[in-house]
A and B are shown apart, each in its own frame.
Chain A
Amino acid sequence: MEKLIAGKSVAVNEEGYLTDFSQWDKSIAEELAQEAGINLSPRHWEVLAYLQKEHQSQVALSIRRVGKSNVVDIKEFYQLFPTAPLKTATKIAGIPKPVSCI
């Protein structure tokens, strides 16, 4: 389905995750962050960039892996993206929701 985000029409799945990363840009991230009640700080951007890089190298993301990344520890990850950080952060980063669990 299509959704209008930051004035652009982008392809998303039923949970609102972008299905085509090439459509992602910073204004889209900012609007998705607003929807989640988050104002993006420089720390947020660092974590988002890390998640995107991991996704591009086809690393399966999990809270544990993020915690051991040396980019952010789990406690801070929760402060930056409260409640369900991995789900929220991946959505803002324009990458798929991790299937860390079977």
Chain B
Amino acid sequence: MKNLVILGAGTGGTMMANHLHHHLQSPDWRITIIDERKEHHYQPGYLFLPFDMYSPDDIVKSVKEFIPDDVHLVQQKILRIVPAESKIQLEGGNEVSYDVLIVATGAKIAPEETEGMRGAEWHKSVFDFYTFEGSLALRDKLRDWQGGKLVVHITEMPIKCPVAPLEFAFLADSFFKEKKMRDKVEITYVTPLSGAFTKPKATEALEHLLKEKHIHIESDFAIEHVDNTTKEIVDYGGRSIPFDILVTVPTNKGDELMARSGMGDDLNYIPTDKATLRSKDYENIFVLGDASNIPASKAGSVTHFEAEILTENILRFVHGEPLKEEFDGHANCFIETGNGKALLIDFNYTHEPVEGSFPFQGIGPLRLLKESRMNHMGKLAFRWIYWNVLLKGTHIPFVPATMSVPQKQ
């Protein structure tokens, strides 16, 4: 019997277990998924938690619930991957051998990378919203905050869901408007980029929205430290920005497991072929989602598209066929813009987000790069799709894994 092992039971790992158990079955194959966590979090929900738009119940379910019965779930800490011997070492001394390994251990925040970020003010006036704890602490702070300077900040790229901090700023604007205290809050958006987003076309549309919502933008800001006493962030050039509440996206890094296993780059991401999703160093290791270093967005939608292509490549690999070089970096993201509206962007490695309608040209119902209520409904509906369709590996109708360019513009 051969072993396929998946590390990480988050969005990517769970999808792969659901895809592959239809194809790789006993007695020829045994599929094992390893993750010490008991809870599966709907990470996009962290954005809504601070504004009381979602409750914790909406975003936390059990890992087990989404793993098929014929897949062996191991809830133990992974100590090390030993690629030279094709085995995994677990805490407690157990080892698991693999014939094929899928690494889907994701990315997480590393506030300790920036001096003073995880200081005395951490989760008091300095918050993240990329963890459940951070997002919840921020919700409690915002509930009775009387106003002041709100600074929304990105430490360095790449980060998970690069549009999330913008969405946070937009939602904050409408949150304070609804509370009739927008005039008491000054919102500043601070980014290491030269503009609001990484892609010029979308940047134009987004900067227009920032202006319209009176959100001030500070670009090219490379943070050196957080001053917990004066409550300022200071950049290497000496520029400082004062805050009453700092909502920061700390440096994102891949799992420490990569450093322990000697498999990652300086941010613990695994060097991966961007078209086949196979590790550049080991032919029986594949990497899915945020754990890889491919130049695509770190986002659930990207992982979803990757999973469809990776499934095919794994099956080709086990049958001794050449891999398909198909992944094009396809990302498809809703951007909440506040007041019950959202934008939708669709792009890949080579194509900028464009205007048009999605998924059907000229019909929609979703509008690309334009604010609409329908897009917002799409984003809210997505939570249901995530739990009920996406994790189960069911193909979402009319949304292909690779970007369909002729549909747009």
Contact = CB atoms under 8 A, between A and B. Distances in A.
Interface of A: 60, 62-65, 68, 74-75, 77-78, 82-84, 87, 99-102
Contacts of B156: 62-64
B198 A101 contact: yes
Given A63-B222, A74-B222, A75-B236, A102 B266 contact: no
B236 A64 contact: no
Interface in B355-373: none
Contact of B266 (A65, A99, A100): A65
B306 interface: no
B68 interface: no
A101 B222 CA distance: 13
Interface SS, B side:
loop
B266 A84 contact: no
B164 to A, nearest CB: 14
B193 interface: yes
A100 to B, nearest CB: 6
Interface string B197-208: 010000000000
A63 B157 CA distance: 10
B237 A74 contact: no
Contacts of A84: 194, 220
B297 interface: yes
Contacts of B266: 64-65, 68
Contacts of A87: 194, 220
17 contacts: A60-B295, A62-B156, A63-B156, A63-B192, A64-B267, A68-B266, A74-B222, A74-B236, A83-B237, A100-B157, A100-B158, A101-B162, A101-B192, A101-B198, A102-B157, A102-B198, A102-B295
B296 A102 contact: yes
A14 to B, nearest CB: 10
Interface SS, A side:
loop
Nearest to A67: B236
Interface residues of B, number: 19
Most buried by B among A64, A68, A87: A64
Nearest 6 pairs of A and B residues by beta carbon: A101-B157, A78-B236, A84-B220, A78-B237, A101-B198, A74-B236
A75 B225 CA distance: 12
A21 B296 CA distance: 27
A87 B194 CA distance: 9
A68 B266 CA distance: 10
A102 B236 contact: no
Contacts of A68: 266
Contact of B158 (A74, A82, A102): A102
A87 to B, nearest CB: 7
A100 B192 CA distance: 11
B224 interface: yes
B194 to A, nearest CB: 7
Contacts of B157: 62, 100-102
A75 B223 CA distance: 11
B162 A74 contact: no
A101 B237 contact: no
